[in-house]
A = this chain, B = another copy of it.
Amino acid sequence: MTIVITAFERSPDGGKGLARDTRVRWALEETGQPCEVRLVSFQAMKEPAHLRLHPFGQIPTYEEGDLVLFETGAIILHLAQRHTGLLPGDADARARAVAWMFAALNTVEPPILDLVIARIHEGDKPWAAQRLPLVEARVRQRLVQLSARLGDAPWLDGGFSAGDLMMVSVLLRLRASGILDEFPDLAAYVARGEARPAYRRAFAAQWAINAPQPHAG
């Protein structure tokens, strides 16, 4: 059955691979599933046709026959449970890999999103400079804990899993702030993720759409 996902017609990050469709593309590549990509404009994302697929008016969505899914975590978990490549075989190890998916999305990403809000959406507010160190401190606290758990291991729990895919994707959002580079072990962990052939293919596919276009003439 053909898989169809949605992505930004033009990603606000200009092709850095931070839009969430890259996470789903990466999971599709790791599990060897082809897909079609339907591009959606900001305007169309808020219209009824798209809201039927995604109640919060975002991308990506996932369609496979009659199944319609939203939420990157749910899409990736669905792929990981149906195909090999993203979850270990042992039941306990699978549950732990899923725990790292949730940890990435619900424990590590919220302070990182708050940092994006503080730096970009509230960057021009009178409180921006004073508030930023507080937000950065919350991010660093999580990275200290994550780094302590990762230790010398290449991945969070045994072999590469959907938990690593999600954690690497979340940490990538930090690179522009410089905070990721304060943690060389985590920067190396992210680099290991980026070096995977499946990630490189996923990145290239979104880059082909989103790369800044040279001015004509």
Query: What secondary structure prevails in chain A residues at the interface with B?
Result: helix
Chain B residue at smallest Cβ distance from A46: B145
Give the number of times this chain occurs in the complex, counting copies: 2
**Interface hit among A91-99, A197-205, A206-214:** A91-99
A107, B57: Cα distance in complex, Å? 11
A115 to chain B, nearest CB (A): 11
- Range of interface residues on A (Cβ < 8 Å): 35 or more
Contact in complex: A74, B95 (CB < 8 Å): yes
Residues on B with C-beta less than 8 A from A73 are 102, 105-106
Judge whether A159 is part of the interface by a CB distance below 8 angstroms: no
Contact in complex: A55, B149 (CB < 8 Å): yes
Judge whether A4 is part of the interface by a CB distance below 8 angstroms: no
Judge whether A134 is part of the interface by a CB distance below 8 angstroms: yes
Residues on B with C-beta less than 8 A from A126 are 127, 130
A125 to chain B, nearest CB (A): 7
Contact in complex: A56, B106 (CB < 8 Å): no
Contact A55 B148, CB 8 Å, known A67-B92, A99-B70:
yes
Contact A56 B105, CB 8 Å, known A99-B69, A99-B70:
no
Contact in complex: A101, B74 (CB < 8 Å): yes
Judge whether A136 is part of the interface by a CB distance below 8 angstroms: no
Judge whether A110 is part of the interface by a CB distance below 8 angstroms: yes
A74 to chain B, nearest CB (A): 4
Contact A66 B92, CB 8 Å, known A56-B107, A105-B102:
yes
Residues on B with C-beta less than 8 A from A68 are 96
Closest 5 pairs between A and B when the two form their complex, measured CB to CB? A127-B127, A74-B99, A55-B149, A73-B102, A71-B102
Q: A106-B109, A122-B134 are in contact. List 11 more A-B contacts (CB 8 A).
A: A56-B107, A57-B145, A67-B95, A70-B99, A73-B105, A74-B95, A74-B99, A102-B105, A110-B110, A126-B130, A127-B127
